[in-house]
Structure 1
Amino acid sequence: MPKRLSGLQKEVLHLYRASIRTAHTKPKENQVNFVNYIHEEFGKYRNLPRKDFTTIEHLLRVGNKKIATFSHPELTNIH
């Protein structure tokens, strides 16, 4: 039986999926740059303790702001 996810884990997963969806709205040749950036950003905090709620909540807020920025059509590439 699969392990149930907490509310915070669901939010992180939602943020990750939304980030990938946003990356796929960008020009085809630049999508890989966005996806790599997303993987790097999430990978930085892969070993963050599950009980570190304040840090996770902060990172969720920052991540949502980044998605809002990246979703602008003027932004076509990321380095």
Structure 2
Amino acid sequence: MIAHPGLALTPSFTKRSESRPTRDAPSSRAEMSVRRSGLQRDVLNLYRRALRIPRTKPPPTRAKWDLMIRYTFRTKAASASPRAISVIEHLLRTGTRQVSMYEDKSVKDCWVSADMHEWQKTQRNQRTEPH
């Protein structure tokens, strides 16, 4: 314990600080993270898996892959209610099949629509606008 020249430590102060652990800072990464349901973990794992796909594709097509994956996940997530478990499970099953297909080495490129480009522009504008 570091003593400050102008402060006197009272017995109750030292006793309390030594006997009880403080909760000021989390002691591990697990305490910092939010508890998630199994379904939430599955969706996040699928999203992370999908975000790794562009790294395996030819460099000229990586930006298109990234946009297509982010757009697809965001629009599907916006269309499903957080309480609609069966809808989320369905999207998870179909998404898993799509990601498995996209991970195949023979798939080199993807198609990006004008809607996807417009969505990307609005996302960039939302990030740059002051709040």
Q: TM-score, normalised by structure 2?
A: 0.56
> In the aligned structure 2, how far is the partner of 1:68 from the partner of 1:53?
22
Answering whether residue 47 of structure 2 is matched by residue 42 of structure 1, we say no
1:65 and 2:80 correspond: no
1:33 maps to what in 2?
A: 64
1:45 alignment partner, SS class: helix
TM-score under structure 1 normalisation? 0.89
Aligned pair 1:13/2:44, yes or no?
yes
CA drift at 1:5: 1.1
> Which stretch of the first structure deviates more once superposed, 46-55 or 36-45?
46-55
CA distance in 1, matches of 2:39, 2:67: 23
Q: Which amino acid aligns with 1:6?
A: S
Higher-Rg member (1/2): 2
Q: CA deviation at 1:2?
A: 4.3
SS of corresponding position for 2:56: coil
Q: How many residues align?
A: 79
After TM superposition, the runs of 4+ consecutive aligned structure 1 residues lying more than 3 A away are none
Q: Quote the Cα distance in structure 1 between the aligned partners of 2:105 and 2:62.
A: 13
Per the TM alignment, residue 46 of structure 1 is displaced from its structure 2 partner at its CA by 3.1
Could you tell me how far apart the structure 1 residues matched to 2:49 and 2:93 are? Answer: 13
Residue ranges of structure 1 left out of the alignment (5+ in a row): none
Between 1:53-62 and 1:22-31, the stretch displaced more is 22-31
After TM superposition, give the deviation of residue 62 of structure 1 in Å.
0.6
